[in-house]
Amino acid sequence: MRYIFVNLKRFDIPREYDGINGLASMETWGSYITEHIQETMIEFEDKAEMAVFFPECHLIPVLEKKIPGSKWYVGAQGVYREDTSAGGNFGAFTTNKTGKSLKALGCGYVLIGHCEERMDKNGILEEAGVTNTAAVNRILNREIACALEAGLKVLYCVGEKEEERDRWQKILEEQLVIGLEGADTSRVAVAYEPLWSIGPGKPVPDREYITKSASFIKEKTNGCPVIYGGGLKEANADMLASITAIDGGLIGLTKFDGDFGFYPEGFKNIVQKYLEGDV
């Protein structure tokens, strides 16, 4: 099985508000994206498991536009570490979305541990003068447990920073062992994000580096699907498709110069190139 994931981050923010959205108005953005990528999702749904992670405010219009019976998943970009329980907490989670609330909406996947979420949690600790990556991984582990308990599938992100490259195995092992402790990994895919390579002008990891990292993750997770989270794009689709330890990719931007952003036509080109390279 191959996997195609899309993380739309906050790509809905209009350019006049310093965002990159030039596709549709804020109120129609989610439905616009769904309408314009859904044909691709359905065309390739028998070749890959596919999910798109939307900002929370767009989930309802997206789910309304999703064609009934189509196999692709609508995903959320995060989940809270606690949830409702019969005879217990009835839902006092102001500002936080729980796994059961996402499941009730109709979501099938959730993204957990993305580098931006890790930076947020680490930043809160740093304000208190604390550095504790294990604590962050324990919180993510609780998020994973809640998501799985609610019946969601999980894309769990791991990866090392530039200053951690000399001990990348230790970093990934901590993120995997603590983050996935007690989890039913049959419903978990792991996205590898080499943080040192993400962003304009950053070095690009080669086939050998991605292969050894993905193989390490598979070994430590007893064979979880490994997704390249550093950005699946047209330029690396053939290379990634040729790596047997990589089972899929995470797409963000589809255009990297000029009016860069996510564009449906670019999305189809990436998906087609990657899956047709899987021979």
Q: Which residues are catalytic?
A: 114, 193
Q: Is 34:65 a contact under the CB 8 Å cutoff?
A: yes
Neighbours of 4 (CB within 10 A): 26
Distances (CA, A) of 275 to 8, 90, 145, 155, 248: 21, 44, 31, 19, 9
Tokens of 114: 């993305």
* Strand-pair partners of 53: 7, 75
Provide the angle, in degrees to the nearest 10, between the axes of the packed helices 115-127 and 133-149.
Answer: 130
- Burial letters 16-46, b for 16+ CB under 10 A, else e: eeeebbebbeeeebbbbbbbbbbebbeebee
**Which amino acid type is present at position 14?**
P
Q: Which of 271, 251, 253, 269 is nearest to 261 (CA)?
A: 253
Distance CA 110, CA 54 (A): 10
